[in-house]
């Protein structure tokens, strides 16, 4: 590629407290998990999203969030323009009780913002959140966070450590110009030109892919941790590696920005050339191990024809409706008739519909709700596509984290589809079908 629903009622954590209109930083009244359920209270986890998604906090046996909770981290920098949409997505209204849990400071900060700026008055602290039932992202350990990665780099004891050899790479398009100015210490570099090629920016031939992986020291049993300045690029590499057969591919949630913007402690960066790993002698298994993860144009047409098929356009609304192609090098505008809109962001370089304000992955329940509005459900055969593959790969990875079974990326995307004048094109406003 060139650059160019869960039940929300009453369940969450940490001491429930009424934040009265006159309170500034006072104590909230507490509410138990059972009370929250009885009062149909919404529950808000104010901790970092990595703990919400499933990583255990220090001293915990199991991570994740209280069943039914939504996540509004006290560390997010939420603008006045973002708040209304955020509250709507979290299904929070000021006339309902809201129980918050997590770090006391973060509880106070989120409660104060809800009360002062948005008129919430029935605010509580969830008192028994640590003993309340939990749920978590199915493959939470594949979405790593900065402190975990730093501990891994330093050789410290961590949960869900790689079973053997591991390697870290930053992924981007082109030469590592930005990488040279600052990156995570010890990271190698992957140029996406090595795994996708012109003219369509589809995956390279399997023989070339194997040669590339071996050159980076990657076998099927190597744990590969990827990050990017843009998560889409890292997701594209992750999806292709999974297709090849790399068994343990992880993404740094929030990418390099998350690494740089840590609130607890500053994490190190370094300048200079990327690390060069010793080449691997063999991949260990035949490539591809998961051919079902990538489909071509005939495969996309087959998904469209299936009763339980969902061909999902991970493009902006202006792209989906034909206002713009989204790319300087793609001239036709429109989208594939019969495709379902999977959302994305404001343009071809944006996936904000899938991200929290800090760029990390949204609550899985929010993504599921977003997809369900267009009939995109886990029981279907779902194939994601975008312009050429980056955004589709990120949506694929999130579906895989949720343990959706029949998922793939239509590799050619709108670019390849639109190049054949025989293929139909849809434009204008479209509704879920």
Show the domains of the chain with their CATH numbers: 30-135 (3.40.250.10), 140-261 (3.40.250.10), 291-419 (3.40.250.10)
Q: What is the pLDDT of residue 433?
A: 74
What pLDDT does 354 receive?
Answer: 99
Annotated catalytic residue within 370, 386, 399, 401 = 386
Pairing of strands 294-295, 407-410: parallel
Specify whether 14 is catalytic. no
Torsion angle (degrees, nearest 10) of CA 90, 93, 96, 97: 50
**Dist. CA 209–CA 216, nearest whole Å:** 11
Does the pLDDT value for residue 313 go beyond 70? yes
Mean pLDDT for 14-23 is 37
Query: Which candidate, 131, 129, 134, places its Cα nearest to that of 36?
Result: 129
Q: What is the 3-state secondary structure (H, E, C) of the chain?
A: CCCCCCCCECCCCCCCCCCCCCCCCCCCEEECHHHHHHCCCEEEECCCHHHHHCCCCCCCCCCCEECCCEECCCCCCCCCCHHHHHHHHCCCCCCCCEEEECCHHHHHHHHHHHHHHHCCCCEEEECCHHHCCEECCCCHHHEECHHHHHHHHCCCCCCCCCCCCEEEEEEECCCCHHHHHCECCCCEEEEHHHCEECCCCEECCHHHHHHHHHHCCCCCCCEEEEECCCHHHHHHHHHHHHHHCCCEEEEECCHHHHHHCCCCCCCCCECCCCCCCCCCCCCCCCCCCCHHHEECHHHHHHHHHCCCEEEEECCCHHHHCCCCCCCCCCCCCCECCCCEECCCCCCCCCCHHHECCCCCECCHHHHHHHHHCCCCCCCCEEEEECCCCHHHHHHHHHHHHCCCCCEEEECCHHHHHHHCCCCCCECCCCCCC
The mean per-residue pLDDT over the stretch 392-403 comes to 99
The residue among 8 and 267 whose pLDDT is bigger is 267
Rounded Cα distance between 356 and 343, Å, is 15
Residue 379 is encoded by which pair of tokens?
């029981």
What average pLDDT does the segment 374-400 reach? 98
pTM beyond 0.95, yes or no? no
pLDDT score recorded for residue 263 = 60
Amino acid 262: pLDDT: 75
What is the pLDDT averaged over residues 28-42? 97
**Which residues face 311 on adjacent strands?**
383
Q: What is the pLDDT of residue 264?
A: 60
């Amino acid at each position: 590629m060139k650059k160019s629903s869960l039940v929300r009622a009453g369940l969450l954590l940490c001491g429930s407290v009424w934040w009265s209109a006159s309170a500034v930083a006072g104590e909230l009244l507490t509410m138990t998990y059972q009370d929250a359920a009885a009062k149909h209270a919404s529950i808000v986890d104010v901790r970092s999203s990595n703990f919400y998604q499933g990583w255990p906090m220090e001293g915990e046996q199991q991570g994740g969030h209280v069943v039914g909770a939504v996540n509004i981290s006290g560390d997010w920098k939420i603008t006045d323009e973002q708040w209304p949409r955020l509250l709507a997505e979290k299904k929070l209204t000021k006339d309902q009780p809201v129980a918050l849990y997590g770090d006391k400071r973060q509880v106070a900060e989120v409660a104060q913002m809800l009360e002062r700026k948005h008129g919430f008055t029935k605010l509580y602290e969830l008192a028994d959140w640590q003993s309340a039932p939990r749920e978590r992202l199915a493959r939470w350990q594949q979405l790593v966070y900065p402190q975990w990665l730093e501990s891994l780099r330093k050789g410290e004891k961590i949960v869900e450590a790689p079973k053997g050899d591991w390697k870290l790479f930053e992924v981007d398009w082109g030469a590592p110009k930005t990488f040279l100015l600052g990156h995570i210490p010890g990271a190698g570099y992957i140029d996406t030109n090595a795994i996708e090629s012109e003219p369509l920016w589809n995956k390279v031939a399997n023989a070339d892919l194997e040669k590339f992986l071996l050159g980076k020291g990657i076998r099927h049993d190597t744990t590969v941790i990827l990050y990017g300045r843009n998560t889409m690029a890292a997701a594209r590499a992750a999806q292709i590696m999974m297709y090849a057969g790399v068994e343990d591919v992880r993404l740094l949630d929030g990418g390099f920005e998350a690494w740089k913007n840590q609130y607890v402690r500053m994490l190190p960066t370094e300048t200079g050339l990327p690390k060069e790993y010793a080449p691997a002698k063999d991949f260990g298994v035949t490539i591809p191990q998961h051919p079902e993860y990538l489909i071509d144009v005939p495969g996309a047409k087959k998904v469209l024809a299936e009763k339980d098929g969902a061909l999902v356009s991970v493009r902006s609304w202006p792209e989906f409706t034909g206002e713009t192609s989204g790319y300087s090098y793609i001239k036709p505008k429109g989208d594939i008739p019969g495709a379902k809109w999977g959302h994305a962001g404001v343009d071809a370089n944006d996936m904000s519909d899938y991200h929290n304000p800090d760029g990390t992955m949204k609550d899985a329940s929010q993504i599921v709700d977003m997809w369900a509005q267009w009939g995109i459900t886990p029981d279907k055969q779902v194939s994601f596509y975008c312009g050429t593959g980056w955004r589709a790969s990120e949506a694929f990875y999130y579906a895989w984290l949720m343990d959706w079974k029949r998922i793939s990326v239509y590799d050619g995307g709108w670019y390849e589809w639109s190049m054949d004048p025989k293929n139909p094109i849809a434009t204008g406003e479209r509704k879920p079908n």
